[in-house]
Amino acid sequence: MNNGTLHYDSDTDGENITIAGCEAAFRGRDTDTSIAIRYENDRLTVSTDIFGANTWTECFSRDNIQLPTHYYFGFTAHTGDLTDNHDIISVRTFQLESSDARKNEDRSLISPSAPLIVNTETVSHGEKSSSWTALKIFFVVIVVIIVIVGLVVFLYYRQNRQRGPRFY
């Protein structure tokens, strides 16, 4: 979700402006795959059909998505080190019937916005994840080993120093 003032961060695949997402196994299929984006009554729903059988699986659905009118559709792609090829075969749009209250509403001045949503799988809007990475765990284990070895050495020398020298 972007109102034109936010920057797409390629290093995090746009997590800073992502409101939701999902994965679909569309690669290597013999049939065309489809995506349906439906925006109705400030609810955005994205569904996929990866089997080409007109059976739709909901990817995600979010409420309170504010989108203005009088804009255009645009499709773009950005790749980093990985390359991929996708063809947009067709785009079909339909105007949905709206309630009487919505017909008289001027939505041209609305700024695109969405509530801050933190996905359970990924952290959105630039927040840092609190999960432990393998590197953090490695360093904690090393520090613990060093502390234990230091404690053993300290106790060994302390015990031997208290005995004092032995002269026979």
Residue 46 pairs in a beta bridge with 37, 60
Higher pLDDT, 3 or 52: 52
What's the predicted TM-score (pTM) here? Answer: 0.59
For residues 33 and 50, the answer to whether their CB atoms sit within 8 Å is yes
Is residue 125 pLDDT above 60, yes or no?
no
Round to whole Å and give the CA distance between 137 and 31: 44
For domain 1-127, give its CATH number from 1.10.760.10, 2.60.120.200, 2.40.30.20, 3.30.1330.180: 2.60.120.200
Output the pLDDT for position 116. 59
Q: How do residues 41-83 score in pLDDT, each as one tens digit? A: 888 999 999 988 888 999 999 998 888 877 777 777 766 666 7
Q: Using alpha carbons only, what angle is made at residue 33 by residues 27 and 35, rounded to the nearest 5 degrees?
A: 115
Whole-number average pLDDT of the chain: 77
Among 20-29, 112-121, 152-161, which is the least confidently predicted range? 112-121
Is residue 85 pLDDT above 90, yes or no?
no
Higher pLDDT, 112 or 42: 42
Output the pLDDT for position 156. 85
